[in-house]
Amino acid sequence: MKAASFSYVKPAALNEVFDLLARHGDRARVLAGGQSLLASLNLRLSAPELLIDITGVPGLAGITVSGGTVRIGALTTHRQIERSPEVARHLPLLAQAVRHVAHVAIRNVGTFGGSVALADPAAEYPACAVALDAILVLAGRGAERRVRAREFFRGLYDTALQPGELVIAGEFPVSGEAYRSAFLELARRRGDYAIVGIAAHARLAAGRISDARLAFLGAASKPVLALRAAALLEGRPLDAQAIAAAQATLEDDLELPADLYSSRATKLQLARVLLGRALGALNG
């Protein structure tokens, strides 16, 4: 299908973006890479009057490391994240996850900020941001604020973004040497949205696991931490018994709404399998 008619503008500064958003309100949509937005326009799931292309705004792309934090600018593409030595070194969870984001031709264009702002519950970055306790930097006219990813994602395509605000960056804390990461997902076809996925990050020392952050994607209306499973694992040797116990408690941790293809029982089974594999990978 073809998109309905809209106007297009490509401002060269952030202030112009805020002016346009103030003037046009929810009749305008922000266009970054457009890899989800243009698809939804073509399908006429959305019909804004104005697209504000922010890719001409300087300073919103790139990955920098300073003071124990990796900052990823909103306009950084998936491909740049995939190829970044800083991400590979400091954020191995994200480096594993990005390879599951759609396909090469989409990763070349789609952006970090776009994925975060869309807040699809089956997307990879939101779960990673929750697992790693990242901060999202939001900017509006004359003000910038920082919101923990754990508070930013509120529900299906619903975030803490206020009208007139943009995600301009994500700040990920670099974790210590003893931390390990595993990102796994199950999809019908590589690159499709996950049926269920897990972003797992934990400390492993002397064979014991602690500070486990087990963020699931596709398991609720937003990325969700399996808190009971993590509490049960805290301080234990990561053996078969501990893994089985964590798997058994997932039923209480995850909402797992059925979708068109998978029942709750199927999703629960897949989540348990993924948790087992992820914990095994952390141990390996």
Partner 1 sequence: MDQTLLTTLIVNGSAVTRRVPARQHLSDFLRDELGLTGSHTACEHGACGACTVRVDGAIVRGCLMLAVQANGRRVDTIEGLSDSGELADLQAAFHRRNALQCGFCTPGMLMAAQDLVTTRPEATREEIREHLSGNLCRCTGYQAIVDAIDDVLAQRRGAKT
Question: Would you tell me which residues interact with partner 1 (CB under 8 A)?
Answer: 1-8, 31, 34-35, 38-43, 51, 53, 55, 79, 102-106, 108-109, 189-191
**DSSP bridge partners of 91:** none
Sign, CA dihedral 107-110-113-118, equals negative
Q: Which residue, 51 or 194, is less far from partner 1 as judged by CB?
A: 51
Q: Which residue, 45 or 244, is less far from partner 1 as judged by CB?
A: 45
CB 191, min distance to partner 1, A: 5
Q: Which residue, 2 or 235, is less far from partner 1 as judged by CB?
A: 2
CB 53, min distance to partner 1, A: 7
Q: Which residue, 41 or 274, is less far from partner 1 as judged by CB?
A: 41
CB 237, min distance to partner 1, A: 34
Q: Which residue, 41 or 72, is less far from partner 1 as judged by CB?
A: 41
48: how many CB neighbours lie within 10 A of its CB? 19
16: how many CB neighbours lie within 10 A of its CB? 16
